[in-house]
Amino acid sequence: MRKLRKTAEFLLDMIYPKKCPLCHEVLKDRNKLLCGKCAGKIRPFSSSLCMKCGKPVKMEEEYCVVCREGGHYFTEGRSIFPYGEIWRQSLVRFKYYGCREYGDFYAKAMSVYGRRYLERWKPQLIVPVPLHPAKKRMRGFNQAAYLAERLSCYTGIPWTDSLVLKIRNTRSQKKLDALQRRNNLRKAYEVTHKLDDISILVVDDVYTTGSTMDAMAICLTEAGAQAVYFLTVCAGRQ
């Protein structure tokens, strides 16, 4: 039996070698998610983080400038890794060049490093940020849905990608005041069901300005969600 499995693994390696999701080198050990070199190189956020959006802040600060001014609509959220060149390349391969299995590593990292947040938030449903149908047709898959499905496997929290639909692309928010901004964000998504006071975890690959998460939070809250949290693989600069 064991020999058979070894042969199967050998054949699988020949046809389809498993690559390190960060440097794209072939992994010698199929059971590892990362190569040794990369495992030593990437570190999750560990400094002081904004208690609402999870962005790095100075040591004595509890909230970042945006959150202090009440600039976000979600309840709370965290990202696992600081976005940089290694991550940019990895995510490009994941999203556009068919390396979907990289998502297994991303979701695993989210479940391991995000565990303490998930235990505190206790979300009842995982929802990926939806792609506009035209974009999804072009790309072939929604990377956030892949992450949501894997994260659901690792955590046991159910997921669905039919609750929120992307109906419009959002315009740039820069020149809008608070009310216009909110209205603009509200138009981007449509929630297909009324929600019964449940708490939701929104999942995506990268968090930057937070406008996507704000839009999701506005729509989900209006549909009846009691709390909207988010978890992303990376957080980048504004």
Tell me which residues touch Zn ion (CB under 5 A).
20, 22-23, 35, 38, 50, 52-53, 64, 67
CB of 43 to Zn ion, least distance (A): 14
Determine how many CB atoms are found less than 10 A away from the CB of residue 79: 28
In degrees rounded to 5, what are phi and psi of residue 36? -60, -40
Of 23 and 99, nearer to Zn ion (C-beta) is 23
CB of 102 to Zn ion, least distance (A): 11
Of 28 and 115, nearer to Zn ion (C-beta) is 28
Of 22 and 235, nearer to Zn ion (C-beta) is 22
Of 24 and 187, nearer to Zn ion (C-beta) is 24
Residue with tokens 């994260």: 151
User: DSSP characters for 66-101?
Assistant: HHHTT---SSEEEEEEE--HHHHHHHHHHHHSS-TT
Determine how many CB atoms are found less than 10 A away from the CB of residue 145: 21
Residue with tokens 């609750």: 163
CB of 68 to Zn ion, least distance (A): 8
Of 101 and 190, nearer to Zn ion (C-beta) is 101
Integer angstrom CA distances of residue 37 from 7, 32, 33, 53 = 27, 12, 12, 30
Of 21 and 130, nearer to Zn ion (C-beta) is 21
Integer angstrom CA distances of residue 79 from 56, 106, 139, 174 = 10, 11, 24, 24
CB of 67 to Zn ion, least distance (A): 3
CB of 108 to Zn ion, least distance (A): 15
Of 79 and 155, nearer to Zn ion (C-beta) is 79
Distance from C-alpha of 190 to C-alpha of 187, rounded to nearest angstrom: 8
CB of 143 to Zn ion, least distance (A): 20
CB of 65 to Zn ion, least distance (A): 8
Sequence-separated (6 or more) residues with CB below 8 Å from residue 112:
none
In degrees rounded to 5, what are phi and psi of residue 159? -135, 160
Residue closest to 105 by CA, chosen among 32, 25, 202, 203: 32
